[in-house]
Amino acid sequence: MMSSDRITQVVTIRPQGSWAALDLGEIWAARELMYFLTWKELKVRYKQTAIGVLWVVIQPVLTTVIFAIVFKQVSNFSSPGLPYPLVVLTGLLLWLYLNNAVMFSSNSLVGASDLVTKIYFPRLMLPLAPVLAGLVDMAVGSLVLLVALLIFGVSLNLSIVAIPLFLFMTMVLAFAVGTITAALNVRFRDVKFALPFALQIWMFASPIFYPVDILSPRIKLALSFNPMTGIVSGFRSAIFGQPFDWPLIGTAAAMTVVIAVFSVLVFKRMESSFADYI
């Protein structure tokens, strides 16, 4: 009677433990899952809401009205040569996208605990999904801005070709901050309490409801290390046809890249322990 030994091959799939690269190949290979996660994010975001996507219109409009009343009438903020409500709306369009993307991304790993603990897929796709889903909100918000420009009689010019650059920078920054907060939220649940407060401080440290030109040189220099300062400034220049402050924009681009690289490295470093802590 002959016997043969059965050889069982065990394959262990785990994320790279080193400070690894983005694994773009894996993400591309799982692009159908990326589409599913993004679509799911869109459906969950407005599930059981009475007016659905109209919140994307109401939020910037009401916030612009409030800011215009408080900061223009009470604080006497000025926007030389430009309608102040448009200055606020252009800043809010980018900020609301970033704020919402970061908030949803920060909870993406904890909220998908069943997926994280049971199957393997590139975990970076989870914080990326809210960033991509937010582009739909951004598109709707852009229509609001276009209507506002028509109402105030502001015409567009060739400088609008630079708009995609600043939208892309905002998207990368949102992904970077959302990625690192998502990773930290797995280990430290204090993040969900501290993040709204931190984002509020970040908003006031960014030129959302005031133009960069009104800042003193010292304050402008300090705020230039905040990427949103250069991004919002460049976006407004592209919308209103004003000269671009390229040193400020360049600083914003450099800081965005640094934050993005650091965030991904931290995420990849912590990735192997996600299932344990979730």
User: Each residue of 172-202: pLDDT tens digit?
Assistant: 999 999 999 999 999 988 898 999 999 999 9
Render pLDDT for 169-178 as a digit per residue (tens, 0 to 9).
999 999 999 9
The distance from CA 48 to its chain's CA centroid, rounded to whole angstroms, is 24
- In angstroms, rounded to a whole number, what is the distance separating the alpha carbons of residues 69 and 67? 5
Of 244, 239, 228, the residue nearest 142 (C-alpha): 239
Distances (CA, A) of 56 to 126, 155, 235, 253: 22, 24, 19, 27
- Write down the pLDDT at residue 20: 46
Distances (CA, A) of 219 to 72, 144, 207, 223, 231: 20, 31, 11, 6, 17
Inform me whether the pLDDT recorded for 261 exceeds 80. yes
* Token code pair at residue 59: 């939020």
In this prediction the pTM is 0.86
Q: Of 55-59, 175-179, 221-225, 246-250, give the lowest mean pLDDT range.
A: 55-59
Label residue 214 by pLDDT band (50, 70, 90): confident
